[in-house]
Chains A and B, each alone.
Chain A
Amino acid sequence: MNPYLAVAALVCTVGLMFALPLIPALVELRRKSDALPLSVVQQNAGEIRYFSDSFRAYINGLDPIMQGCVAAGTTATGALPDGEEYVVLGRVDEPLVLALQQRDTTHLVMGANVDLILPAEVRFSKDIYAGGQFIGGIKNNFRAILGEKNVHLGASSRVLRWVHAVGEFTADAGCGLDGRISSDSLIRLQTDCGFRRLNAPRIEIGSVAANPEPPLPQLHSLASSGRPPRFLHDGDFEVQAGQVIVGDILIRGKLHIRSGARICGSVKSVEDAVIADGVAVEGSLISSQKMRIGPHCAIHGPVIAERELAIARGSQCGTFEHPTTVSAPRIEIEEGVAVFGTLWAREQGQVVATQ
């Protein structure tokens, strides 16, 4: 073989091998099929009411039909602009609801002042709008509910995506609340309810008034009192019973705050944190691992545990005037706890009976 030809063949082969991976690249560079900027959430800000607000806007055009149905006590059916079917109820009775359940592929829309009382074990896989009171039966299954008044779920019911109640939202024992649950006034969950993300001015677990034990320590907002000093400790640390610490405490170890102590500042523990009964924290309370908050504690700022969080009966997080967030991947919360603001379990939240 001609040596020049051999060299040329070698150069061509190597060049081809080098160019081969560039072919899809050149095609994509020319076509720009995936050249838009990455999608960044610019507007909705992950707000809990985003879906319910969107649904309200989505069915907004049904207002005249709703008013007509309520006035005449009739039912109307039709399709929304995107082709989704709907049923508008001007009156509600059990046979009608059971009949609707057979047509499970329609959105259910109930006019103002039309209260809905559902029988047991019904299932709706489309979103529901309730202009009046919404009272679910036991073992109901819902995709999403927007209630202009109170929304109540019967025992062992399940919500897959979201509920928003302008009035109160209450759930009986054993309900599974997988999505976003919000209320403009109150959320109350009973024993064995599972939850993910709750938001309301006041969230009660079980009956808060049923635990009138020692009064909660009074809290003061840090915002008005300036920045307290920061106390940093390497290793495990204990705050003694009844001790009052003015300042932030950062513990690079395990933290144990004993009964009745008061921290006039924020607390951070990079390992597990155990908070005994009657403790008050005027700022935030954060653990990089697990955290257990004992009975009758009062925490003013955000409560964050990076692994697990348990809150015992009678404790309170935030206040009505200063709502806050309680968050952890897994949360166990006893009856008698009150949270003002957001209660968010990324993986699983569970209401457990008082021990």
Chain B
Amino acid sequence: MLQARVYITLKQGILDPQGDTVRSALQSLGFDGVADCRVGKFILLRLTESDRAKATARVEEMCRRLLANPVIEDFRFDLEETP
């Protein structure tokens, strides 16, 4: 079975107050080596499609139509075999 791992992140340049807050929390814990932090979404899709090319096209369409908002977000995904 194929599984898609979809990563959705805010476009570059868009303010991410959540990421900034996480970064300052890390800093207050002594992790001062973090120059920037961006928080995004991770979506796991178990697919019934077994053909990789078809699955890629399908997931791409899912991302464009629903999972990501092209005005504010970028997406990428990969496919992996799962039992």
A in complex with B: no
